[in-house]
Structures are given as C-alpha cells and as structure tokens.
Structure 1
Amino acid sequence: MKQNKILFPIFLMVVVPTILTTFISFFRFSTTLDRKLSDGLFHLLPSHHFFSKDIVIIDIDEQSIAKYADHPELGQWPWKRHIYPTLINYTKLITPPRITIIDIMFTERSDYDEALVIANESLGEISHAANFRDGGIVIPRKGIESIQERFKVPLNTHIPFPKFENASFPIGQIGETAPMIHVVNVITDADGILRRFSPFVQWNGFYFPTLAMQAFALGETYETESKDGDLIIQKNGEKRIVPVGKDGLVRAYFYTEEELRNIPRYSAAGIIESLETLNSGEVEDPNSLLVPPKLFKDKIVLIGTSAASTHDDVVTPFGLFPGVIAQAVFASNLIEGHLLRELPEFYGILFTTLVLFVGVLVLFINQWHSLKSLYPIFAISLFLGTFYFLYRMDLVLSTYSFVLGFPISYLLGFAYLTYTEGREKRKFNHILRNLVDPEVVSVALENMESLKQGGEWEITAFFSDVAGFSSISEELSATDLAKLLNEYLSAMTNVLKSNSGTLDKYIGDAIVGIFGAPIQNPNHPKLACKTALEMRKELERLRDGWNQRGEYTPLARSMVFRIGLNCGPAKVGFMGTDSLASYTMMGDTVNLAARLEAAAKDYGVSILVSESIESVCKDEFHFRFLDWIRVKGKEAPVKIYSLEAYQKDVSNEVIEAEREYELGFSEYLKQNWEVAILHFKNVSKFLGKHDITSEMLILRCENLFQSPPPVDWDGVYTRTSK
C-alpha cells in the first residue's frame, strides 16, 4: 500500500488507542483496573512460589469458641487473657518457636492482664499487636511515650510509608513489658481488595514495624537503606530488597487459593485439649497428642482468629479470608522474598504501542489474508507470554493498556479496512449472494485476491433440466408459467445452496451448479449426490402440493427433471467485465456433465453420473451401472451410472434386478445377443415395472443381431447428439 494510505491507519490503530490509554492513566481508575486484570491473570497462570514452611498459625476458630463458650476459665468471646500465655507456653514445651506473633489486640484493661505481663517477662520472643488509625479523638495514655521510644525504628528514608494520626498500643504493663511490638493494620486498594502491605508505618513522626516485618526480623537487629526507590533490609548477612511503590506499599504474592486454605493452622481448642490430656497423665509421649508440641519447633507462630464472631475477615484476590491468613501471606512474602514489583504503566503502554504498530502492518501491508485473522491470537498469546515471563521474575506488567487498546485498535483497523475495501467486496458479494449459501459467501470473501483470480482445481459440475418443459410451457399462460418456474427454481436453488453448492446460472428451466468452488471442499462429489437426491424429493413435495391445490395442467403437475453429474478438474472464477461478471466454470469436466444430463433421457433415469462420481461416493450412495458411452466431442469412452438412493435405502429386489442387468450387459459385450436379451427382460420382472434402460438395450441387441457390428467393436455406444 502506498505511503499516504498507511498514515491514517497508523493514526487510527496506534495513535488513537495510545492517547486514550495514556489519558486513562492520569486517573486512579487505571491503577484499580490494572490490579483487577492482573488478579485474573494470576488465577490463570501457574504459580511459581510456595508458602513459607516456617510459618504456622494457632487459630481461635469457630470450633474453639463454640467448644469453650461455657468454660469457667475462658467464657464467651473475647476469651480471658490468661489463655494466651497457656497457648504460648505449650509451643515451647519441647523446642521453642523462633518467635510468637499475636494478631489480637489488647488495648483495654481486664482482670487477667497480669498473666500476659508475666508471659512477656518469662517466655521470651513474643510480639504484641498495635493498631494505628486516622481520625477520632486523641486520648493521652500513660506510658505511651516509653512504648513509642522502645519500639520505634530509626529509618533514614524518603519512602512515603503509610502515615496514621492515632495509635493504640497494648494497654498498661502489657505494652510496657512487651518484648516486641508490631502494627497489624492492613490497607486495601480502592476496590476494597487487600493486595499490598507495608513493612513499616508512621505515627507521630516515628516508624514502626508491621507484622510481616517482625516475622522477618525475628527480634534481631537489622539495618535499612533506600536505593532507587526500593527499601533494602539487612540482618545477619541476609539481604532483602523490597520493591516499595510510590505510596509505600508493596504488591504481595498471594500464591494460590489451595495453598491459602492449606496453611498449617492448629485449632486453639486442639491445643487446649492436648494440654489437658498431657496434664492428666493419660499419655507419656507428647508426640501422640492431638496437636504435638514439636509442630512449633523453630517456627514463626502467629496467634489469630478465624471465627466469624471476631469480625477479622478481609477480601483478598482469592476471596474472603481471615485477617491472620493475609498477615501470614505478607510474612511469607518478606521471609521468602516473594515480592512483586509493579512496573510503571509506561512499560505496558510501550508494549501495547509496538503490538498495535505490528497490527497495522498485518492489516494493511501483509498479503497473507489468513494472518489477518490469526494475528489477534498471536498478539494475545504474545501478551500472555510476556506477562507470564515477567511474572516469573516477580515483575507485574501493566495490562489495562493492552486489554483496552488492542481491541479498540483492531476494531478501528478492521472498520477502516472494511470501508476502503468494502466497495470491491460488496461488488462480489452482490454477485455471490444469489449464487451461494451466505456462509460460503462469507468464507469466500475472506480471500478477495484468490476469489478474483480464480483457478483450476477439482470440482463437481451439476446440470439439471426439466423433461418436456417446452410442452408444459405451451399449455400455460405467461403468468402461470412464470409462477411455476419461479416456484420450481426457488425450491431447487435452496437445496443447492444448503449443500454448499454454487449457482452458476439459469438457462430457462435448466440449473447449472458448481460444487467445490469458490470454496474448495474435498466432499464436493458427495454433496452433489446429496443435492440431487434431495432435489428429487423436493420435486415430489412440489408435485403433491400442485395436485392438492389443482394448480397448473396435469402435464405440469407431473413434471420430472434430469440431472447430470461429473467431477474432475475445471477452471473456475469470475468471468466477464468489471460491471457485469459471473462466477462460472469451464472445461471438459463441465462439458461431460452437460452431456450426461442430456443422455439421462435415453436411459429413462433422473440422475446420471460418471464413473468419477461413482468411485468416490459408492460407500454412501447406491449407483446402478448402465452403459459405456462415447459422448459427442469426446473420444474416450465413459462408464455411466444412475444414482438411485442412499445405500441404506436400497431393497433386495433392486439389487437382484441390477445383478441381472449386469449379467445381460456382460453377454451383450460378448455379442451373445439372445442370452443378453433374456437377462434384460428379467430386469423388468424383478423391478415390477418397465425398465427403460433394459428395453433400450434389448432394442440395441435386436438391431445388432440383424446388423452385426464390425470386428473391432468394443461395446461402447456412441451418442451423436449433445
């Protein structure tokens, strides 16, 4: 295509979608859409990380609350606080866990706070939960300054970690004696889904670690620094690069729904029952308990709740889960380094722009028409492959620009292509729509160049003609003749089109059709046979209707047709002028089909076919051998058959009659005229009606008996008329 004709497609398919997606990126909606789309892709793509084996959860679940609702030491939710040291102490019976992180708030006084204070001072590595929030009234609390000074983290960074106005630390001496503090706040995205977390949060000008950070640090000393916008955390030679976003949050890797549901969770009720069993002396080996203490060896233990009454559920990319599950995911991410880096939207827009530009070349430069249909599949596959390749590297490509831009681009491109090429396509569509079934037309128009050029390939030529139509037309008025002809031709043409046939032309009452063009179809001989049989059945239906209504004349109401079929190579294509052209066929194959239609009259059959049809269709259709003939204009003899019916519909009487006919023809070739005549006469007896073909062969035998053929006679009958 010339240069001036490619500039506008580039504008439509590249510039317009790029401007649109870039404009959308200025709004927060694009970020939310991006994350929703990437969630969907994460569901579809294989997981490449696995949840940390170092994390287990002690879960105060529905069973635990229901089982101990009437227990004098626990009561209904919230439980009395002396149970938590009991749970923590149980995990330390054999080999203690590395750290115990409590995901439950103790911000109000109770009568059992002393138990937690003692646990803080005696049980070691315990981290208590703090909750930060915005708004409300700031209530000064005694001792909060000391807690703030003990647990603040000195960060020298410009990263805008989430900032809160108010803080709720563990109450009183629980907070003052706590070995460690972590913040349990989670921050959902604009659509209410929890996808991201922060290792630190801000309050009162100071930084505090979140639960995930505490699980990574394990109470040890660590150092932090900022580099290229990332947070780098180092402890004991271990280095973790945290790809923090512009708002101080990092995208979490949520593994799979199955893994989230299979995170090791041990019911608090099971631990309490195991402890009671152990204290009763019923078992000596702790490993045989319902929840063996060894399960917590060297683990990071999270104590949280999943019971509905605790109202601690959050919405994750995999649906609703207890908050402690989300915290466990964040902790696993930081411990194992399963952190996703969201690439700037610019990369997604650039990728989309390149794909769109290639789309312009495919639609407007490329000459392989099939590629125009395949390119969307290729482009989508390339997008998914690129997304997955980056995802395997824990990089998240912006997706909204492709998901929005590519369909818009390709729709605009196809619309413009349809507009520019539509005039020529409409011209051929106008010609074809009356010749071929609409579905065939739509396929044929996919390859305009091939359609215009035509070609030479295997087809089946179809010719049909009404017997004695001249006599019928003489009996009818012009109005009735037009009505009869229109009704007949409409019905027959519908049958032709419904079997993927192409109407070549009408010649008065004659129908000329093509099977296997303009769309090549290897089953064209069988489709032609099917059409011929269905036309015969359709004509019977028409005759019944005419007789019931008493329309036309008796001769018209008894109308019959003849069909000739032949398959072989032929030239097919549009032939004519630019303003007046028709899709047609030419060649010896076509000529023979026309001769067969004419010859059908001699043999008294409705459908006459060549050996080329019989040889490829005999498994499905039943043919009767008739003769060897030499048609006018063709020296080579042709073996001809009558198409009778489907194989399943042939009776034994017909088969016996045909066998008798073939015996007679065999004797005919041997010039045993009298024996041949006897066999031919038996055919009508088997059929129970006059068989015109046999009677014609009887007459031929009698003539040859009286006037013997020459010595070189080969039994082929030469027709002298078309």
Structure 2
Amino acid sequence: MTQVPRLESTSTARRALSGVLLGLGVTLLLSLLRGSSGFERVEGSFLDARTRMFVGQRAPDPRIVLAVVDEIEVREMQERTGSGWPWTEDYLQLLPQALEGFGARGLLIDVVYLDRGQDDEEVATARREVAAAQRAQVAGYADALRSFGRAGAAVLLARTPTWTHPPRVAAATERFLPLEGAASPEGPFGPRGIDASVRAFTEGVRYVGFANTVSDVDGIVRRAAPVARAGDRAVASLPLVGAALVSGKPVRVTADSVEVDGARQGLDENGTFLLAFPAEARRIYPTVSPVEVLFASQLIGVPEAELSAEDAGLVSRVRTAVKDRLVVFGQNVHGHEDVLATPIEDNMLGPELLATTVDVLLHGDGRLPWSRLANALFLAFLATGTALLGTLPRGRLWNLAGVVLAAAVCVGLGVLLFAAGHAIDLFTPLVGIALAGIAAGTLRLLTEGARNRWLEGTFSRYLAPDVIEALKRDPDRIQLGGRRREITIFFSDVAGFTSISERLEPEKVVRLLNRYLTGQSAEVMAQGGVIDKFEGDAIMAFFGDPLDMEDHALRACTSAVACVKALDALRPTLSEFGLERFDIRIGLNTGSAVVGNLGSDRRFDYTCMGDAVNLASRLEGANKHFGSRILIGPATREQAGDAILVKPLGDLVVVGKKNAISVYELIALADEATEAEHAHVAAFADAVQALEVGAWAEARDALGRAQDARPGDGPTAWLKGVATICELEPDIHVWDRRVVLHSK
C-alpha cells in the first residue's frame, strides 16, 4: 500500500479556511498601516486621479463671482489713489455700497488679519494710534456692511479650545450663522476656540464663518468641513455662510449631513466631504475687478445721461458682473498670498476654492468618503476573495486570475462609486489584493510543491505523466472514498507462470518479472492507464480515471495489443533463463465501477471495485478455455467499434454468473491488421455462422481457411473441437454459441 502525507490537508474545507485566514490577516495588517503618512499620501493621489477624471460634470454655478485683489489691482489702486494694500476702510466701505446699489445677492469676505497681541510695546503703541485714527473710518465701513445686510466674513478656529480676544470673539460669535437641527458633527478640528480677525472685517457683517481649510498629510486640500465645534456650540464655515446667502433659506445640520435649500450633502465620520470641481482651468468662476467696483460705487445714482461713455461702460460691467450674484472678495498679493494645493491645481486661489466649496454645498454633489470600517470590510472582501481563488481551485493560473479579477473589481467599483458620489480606498485594497495573491501563491508552492514531489515519486512508476499532471491539478482525486465511473479494466498474467517459477531460482524469477513488468507497464501507461497493482506475474490496470477519457475502451485495446507485441522484445532474452515459451493472457471489460482509495488516510490503494472489474478478471482466466490471448467483453467491443479487429467466440457464462455475455478475441487494431489477419477473422466468422445453422461441412471448410490464415491459432483449434462434438452428437443439430465455464 502507498503512504501519503496527510491527505486531509488538501480538502476543500482546509483550503477555504486557509484562504479566509490569509485574507483576514492581510486585512488586519493593512488596516494597521492605513493611517500611516505613506499610505495616506498614495491613497490621496488615487483620489486625485478620480477627481480629475470627473472634473466638469456640470457647469459652475452662475450665481457666484470672484473679486480678488492681486498685484495688478494693488498697482491700479495705488496709481489712482496712492493707497496701498490693505486698503483703508474708507475705500473698503465703497464695496458693500456698490454691491447694494448694483443688486448683488451677497458678499463673502475671505480676508483675515489676526492681531494676537504679541507685538513689542513700540509696535503695539503704533497700532493703537492707527486704530484711534481710523475709528471713524471703521465705523463707516461697518455701517456700510450693516446697510447691505447680506455680507459674511471670515474668522479662524484657534489651535486651542480657549478663545483669544474675548471681547472680539463675543462680538463675532453673535453673528454665527444659525443652524437648524438637533445634532451636528464634531468636525475634523475637534473643539476649538476662535481667533477673531481685525474688528473692521467682522463688525457689521450679517454672519461670520470659519475659514479654516482641511488639508491632508501631503498638504493638498481635497475635502471641506462645513460645520465645526467652537466652544460648546456648532459653528458654520464661511462656504456654508455663502451657500446660505445665495439660497436665502435656513441651513439644516445633522450628524452626517448639511442641507441647503433642499440640496443635501453627506458628511463622513469626520464631518467632511470631498470637493468636486466644475472645471479644470484656473478662474473657474467669472471675475470682477475690485477696483472697478469701488469706483463704480461713486457713480451710483448719477443719471445715465450725465455719465461719460467710459463711466457708463464701467457701471454696466460692474452691474452685469454682480447683479443677483454672491461676490467672493479675497486677496492674493505679495506678503498676503492665498493659494492652496488641490487635486486639480497646485496653486489654486483661496477665494476660488472658497467659491468651489459654496458651489458644492448649493448642489450637494460633493463625494462622501467611506468610513474606515466600510473600507476595511471592502478590503477584507477583496483580499479574502483573492486568497480563496488562490487556494480553492486547482491550477496555478487561478491565483493570477484571482488577482486580476479582484483588481478589476476594485478599480471598477472605485470609479463607478466615485461617479455615484462615494469615495472608497483604492490603493490599500490593491495592495491587499497583491499581498493576498502572493500569500496564496506561496502557500500553494509550499503545500502543493511537496505534494507534487510526493505524487511524482510515488506514482511515476504506475501512472503516465499526463495522469500525474492531472493529479497535481486536482489532488482531491486521491482522497479517501470513491466515485462511480465508467472505465475499462485490464487484467493480464503470464501463461504457465507457476511452472516457470518452479523451474527457476527465485533470483531469476525476480529478474525475469522485472523485465517483463517494466515493458508491460510502459505500454499501459503510454495509453493513460493506471496500474492498480502487481500481483506476482499479474497486472491489474484501468483506463478512464482519474483522467476523463471518452475513448478509454480503445485505449485499453491499444494497450493490450502493444503488450502482446512487447513480448517480442523479451523473447531474445529467454535463453538466459532457460525458457523456450513465454506468453500472456489479457482480459478487458468496460463497465461501471467505483474508483477511489481504499485504506486509511495514511496508507491506501488507488483501485476500482465492482462487477465490471470481476468480469474483466474472469475474461482473463477464460483465455485458457478458448486458447486466446486477448479476450474482451461486449461493452468494450461496442465502444471501440471499427477501430479494432475482433472475432466472436460465443456467449460465455462465467463462474458465479447465470447470464451469458458475448465475448470476442482482440486480434489487432484495425488500421494495423494484416491481410492474413483480416482473412482469418472472416473465415472464423463464417465457421461460427455455419455452426449456428448446423452446416458442419461448411464449418470445417471455414475453419480450415482460418487455420491457414493464422497457423497455431488457439480459438480456431477450440472451435474445431466444438464442431466435431456437434457433428458426432446426434442430438445436436445447431450450435447455440453458449459456453459455460465451471472454473476460473
């Protein structure tokens, strides 16, 4: 019997468990690494690629216009008035006056100057003197903002929970945008205090909102937080203030969303959403010159007939630019640069990013990042699926196929979900897929490599190479138990071997058998047969399992003919053993049998059982009665068809059976048969037909021709004996073809 290393380790359940454990192990490892800066950076680049892929899905909201003070605006203002930046409040107050006069929808002031009270005494004294001199101007600017009534200004959340400049903060917090809703998100900043800006920029506005941006570890602004916690209250961001000014409707906030005029924007577990960009190029939104706005304000109320052509053009441009629009007022000048890195531009203007955020809140089309738990489950699904495809199916290509399939699913879902408004991790799952594939492949090499070496070492003497390869692909075929299969069974032994073994010394018997069995087994395996066992001089083999063979009957016949021919190579060496004659008998039968392993999980035989097997053994023994070499059953004859040359011998009743079966002697393969063999078969068939009708003389003549075509043929001699008995017995008028054996 054969010893096998732990058959149960290749069971489907074990392989499935291995795949699940590998997938979960990869998930745990990557979940721990996901928060590292390296993973965050690469994951961010994958987000950027998808963001750029879907840029421009809709047009920018036409209700937003930018008024940005840049170097050109500063130079123009200085040339006209001699005032540098920052402009004094007596000029700035013209901005809300102009917007009110030209019918603007609102004003968003994205300018923040912080006075943290940390200057030395000389600088602090100078500041107080300047503040005192400008107090009247500040009051005028604040009054202009109050008169306009639709302005919002920026404050900053402090790095600490304590508020700086309590008097200023108290004034600012009175103007935070009212938020409806029972709950609000914590936001990405945690509880913060407020750094109030210079009083003039917040005093007089209707609302204030925090202008803090949310940047990732690589410094890129991909997301926005519309709500945060300041002290014990929820406060709105400046973009949310802008969206409220545009819509004119209350803002509703829940723990996972904000809603502006029916447009709901979902928020992730950190209270943020991913920005969507309506265009690629700089200056997504239309612009208006702040200097032109200031000077156009001085022309409000002047009759059109009194305006010069230049002034009329100025008024027309400004009115067209700002009417019914939210004006985002910001700066980007030397010393006060306001540019940020975004997925679509390395240096996007801060006011433009602010306008984009307002736009997204108005339409609710920002993308919602999946939570860490959801991403971990997605990773577990893909990694486990990859590992299972690498461990469950047989064949190494399944491992590669699993990696490719899982990667395609990952990328495809990532893109489709992004288009639908959801953002999932891509880099981490792809790494997980690769790791799971590598782990499954390594496990396969470690376990199946040893098993394949064992298979080759154990079965290479008994199985053909293609059969061994089939077992490598599916070792489950050699698990304990069996399955019912249609196969062709092969039995052979040496005629008169008992007397041969008695005449020869044991060493010579072993040497003779080794030579004989080597040649015979080679012919069996050449046709894909499985050598079940050697029992002395006898060989038991079968065809049709573990490989699926539609032509297993023909393969068995081909192997049997080749085994007889192989004796020709052995006969020249018979003199070495003092033998003159050495012949074999073969029985073939096709039928249903149980094929599998008998034994324990450590030691077993790969064999077949059933009536079809027993009949093949009986046919091999029946050769002695007929004097034939290769005897085959009816199913083998039918399945092999015209590819073989056979002659019918009769209807045989073997020992232990009541019903007769038609048996045939296999002479040769049809395409290899000689003319003499064809003539012999034809003459033998004529003799059988003559005996069946009692034509004794015709039978004798046909048997003579058969004998001449194949001198020394055993079945011909046997049939002559049958004919003689039939002719001499007065009670026998015809031969009924029935042959009953009383011994094996």
Q: Return the TM-score normalized by structure 1.
A: 0.52
Q: In structure 2, which of residues 377, 382, 385 is the aligned counterpart of residue 350 of structure 1? A: 377
Label 1:683 to 1:32 Cα distance change in 2 as closer, same or farther (>3 A): farther
Q: Which amino acid aligns with 1:625?
A: P
> What are the within-5 Å matches in structure 2 for residues 430-509 of structure 1?
436=463, 437-442=467-472, 445-446=475-476, 451-454=479-482, 456-470=484-498, 473=501, 478-497=506-525, 499-509=527-537
Label 1:228 to 1:700 Cα distance change in 2 as closer, same or farther (>3 A): same
2:210 maps to what in 1? none
1:17 maps to what in 2? 26
Q: In structure 2, which of residues 425, 433, 440 is the aligned counterpart of residue 398 of structure 1? A: 425
Verify: 1:30 aligned to 2:39, yes or no.
yes
Verify: 1:673 aligned to 2:703, yes or no.
no
CA distance, structure 2, for counterparts of residue 668 and residue 478 of structure 1: 47
Verify: 1:563 aligned to 2:586, yes or no.
yes
CA distance, structure 2, for counterparts of residue 676 and residue 557 of structure 1: 34
Q: 1:185-215: CA deviations, max 9, x gaps?
A: xx9998xxx9x98999xxxxxx999xxxxxx
Contact 1:369 1:446 in 2 (8 A): no
Contact 1:222 1:233 in 2 (8 A): no
**Structure 1 residue 129, shift from structure 2 partner:** 13
| Matched residue SS, 2:476 | coil
Q: In structure 1, which of residues 711, 718, 722 is the aligned counterpart of residue 740 of structure 2? A: 718
**Structure 1 residue 677, shift from structure 2 partner:** 1.7
Contact 2:366 2:421 in 1 (8 A): yes
1:525 maps to what in 2? 553
Q: In structure 2, which of residues 651, 664, 676 is the aligned counterpart of residue 628 of structure 1? A: 651
CA distance, structure 2, for counterparts of residue 362 and residue 607 of structure 1: 48
Q: Which amino acid aligns with 2:25?
A: V
| Matched residue SS, 2:683 | helix
| Matched residue SS, 1:503 | strand
CA distance, structure 2, for counterparts of residue 720 and residue 39 of structure 1: 88
Q: 1:276-333: CA deviations, max 9, x gaps?
A: xxxxxxxxxxxxxxxxxxxxxxxxxxxxxxxxxxxxxxxx99xxxxxxxxxxxx9xx9
Q: Which amino acid aligns with 2:511?
A: K
> What are the within-5 Å matches in structure 2 for residues 200-215 of structure 1?
none
**Structure 1 residue 552, shift from structure 2 partner:** 5.8
- The higher relative CO (CA closer than 8 Å, separation ≥ 6) is in 2
Contact 2:59 2:279 in 1 (8 A): no
| Matched residue SS, 2:493 | strand
More displaced, 30-39 or 388-397?
Answer: 30-39
Contact 1:12 1:409 in 2 (8 A): no
Q: Which amino acid aligns with 2:727?
A: F
CA distance, structure 2, for counterparts of residue 636 and residue 675 of structure 1: 30
Q: Rg larger in 1 or in 2?
A: 2
CA distance, structure 1, for counterparts of residue 433 and residue 692 of structure 2: 72
1:612 maps to what in 2? 635
**Structure 1 residue 357, shift from structure 2 partner:** 8.3
Q: Which amino acid aligns with 1:446?
A: D
CA distance, structure 2, for counterparts of residue 476 and residue 403 of structure 1: 71
Residue ranges of structure 2 left out of the alignment (5+ in a row): 1-7, 9-13, 78-83, 96-106, 111-152, 158-186, 189-214, 226-236, 281-342, 345-355
More displaced, 553-562 or 657-666?
Answer: 553-562
CA distance, structure 1, for counterparts of residue 69 and residue 524 of structure 2: 81
| Matched residue SS, 1:721 | coil
Label 1:233 to 1:597 Cα distance change in 2 as closer, same or farther (>3 A): same
Label 1:563 to 1:634 Cα distance change in 2 as closer, same or farther (>3 A): same
Label 1:198 to 1:403 Cα distance change in 2 as closer, same or farther (>3 A): closer
Q: In structure 2, which of residues 596, 619, 623 is the aligned counterpart of residue 600 of structure 1? A: 623
CA distance, structure 1, for counterparts of residue 545 and residue 49 of structure 2: 45
Contact 2:633 2:663 in 1 (8 A): yes
> What are the within-5 Å matches in structure 2 for residues 3-14 of structure 1?
12-13=21-22
| Matched residue SS, 2:480 | helix
**Structure 1 residue 676, shift from structure 2 partner:** 1.2
1:64 maps to what in 2? none
2:721 maps to what in 1? 699
**Structure 1 residue 347, shift from structure 2 partner:** 1.7
> What are the within-5 Å matches in structure 2 for residues 293-304 of structure 1?
none
Q: Which amino acid aligns with 2:743?
A: S
**Structure 1 residue 21, shift from structure 2 partner:** 0.9
| Matched residue SS, 1:562 | strand
CA distance, structure 2, for counterparts of residue 648 and residue 621 of structure 1: 8
**Structure 1 residue 567, shift from structure 2 partner:** 2.0
| Matched residue SS, 1:446 | helix
Q: Return the TM-score normalized by structure 2.
A: 0.51
Contact 1:600 1:607 in 2 (8 A): yes
CA distance, structure 1, for counterparts of residue 47 and residue 642 of structure 2: 55
> What are the within-5 Å matches in structure 2 for residues 57-68 of structure 1?
none
Alignment length (residue pairs):
515
Label 1:447 to 1:456 Cα distance change in 2 as closer, same or farther (>3 A): closer
> What are the within-5 Å matches in structure 2 for residues 647-662 of structure 1?
647-650=670-673, 654-662=677-685
Q: Which amino acid aligns with 1:18?
A: T
Q: Which amino acid aligns with 2:722?
A: R
Label 1:22 to 1:578 Cα distance change in 2 as closer, same or farther (>3 A): closer
Label 1:241 to 1:561 Cα distance change in 2 as closer, same or farther (>3 A): same
CA distance, structure 2, for counterparts of residue 396 and residue 487 of structure 1: 72
**Structure 1 residue 639, shift from structure 2 partner:** 0.9
**Structure 1 residue 560, shift from structure 2 partner:** 4.1
Q: 1:614-660: CA deviations, max 9, x gaps?
A: 11221544443333222233222121123344444445664454333
Verify: 1:512 aligned to 2:540, yes or no.
yes
| Matched residue SS, 1:663 | helix
CA distance, structure 2, for counterparts of residue 635 and residue 344 of structure 1: 76
CA distance, structure 2, for counterparts of residue 249 and residue 718 of structure 1: 90
Q: Which amino acid aligns with 1:703?
A: I
Q: Which amino acid aligns with 2:729?
A: S
CA distance, structure 1, for counterparts of residue 46 and residue 523 of structure 2: 49
CA distance, structure 2, for counterparts of residue 401 and residue 395 of structure 1: 16
Label 1:454 to 1:246 Cα distance change in 2 as closer, same or farther (>3 A): same
Percent sequence identity over aligned pairs: 21
> What are the within-5 Å matches in structure 2 for residues 378-389 of structure 1?
380=406
CA distance, structure 1, for counterparts of residue 67 and residue 677 of structure 2: 97
CA distance, structure 2, for counterparts of residue 644 and residue 29 of structure 1: 76
Label 1:471 to 1:399 Cα distance change in 2 as closer, same or farther (>3 A): farther
**Structure 1 residue 466, shift from structure 2 partner:** 2.6
Label 1:54 to 1:361 Cα distance change in 2 as closer, same or farther (>3 A): closer
**Structure 1 residue 464, shift from structure 2 partner:** 1.2
Contact 1:625 1:640 in 2 (8 A): yes
CA distance, structure 1, for counterparts of residue 586 and residue 468 of structure 2: 24
Label 1:18 to 1:488 Cα distance change in 2 as closer, same or farther (>3 A): same
Contact 1:25 1:345 in 2 (8 A): no
CA distance, structure 2, for counterparts of residue 40 and residue 528 of structure 1: 62
Contact 1:347 1:398 in 2 (8 A): no
Q: 1:400-444: CA deviations, max 9, x gaps?
A: 554444676698799999999999999999987765543354466
CA distance, structure 1, for counterparts of residue 743 and residue 73 of structure 2: 118
Q: Once superposed, what is the RMSD of the aligned Cα atoms?
A: 6.7
Q: 1:513-550: CA deviations, max 9, x gaps?
A: 2334567766543443343345445555x44xx84xx6
| Matched residue SS, 1:636 | coil
Contact 2:529 2:544 in 1 (8 A): yes
CA distance, structure 1, for counterparts of residue 662 and residue 600 of structure 2: 38
**Structure 1 residue 604, shift from structure 2 partner:** 5.1
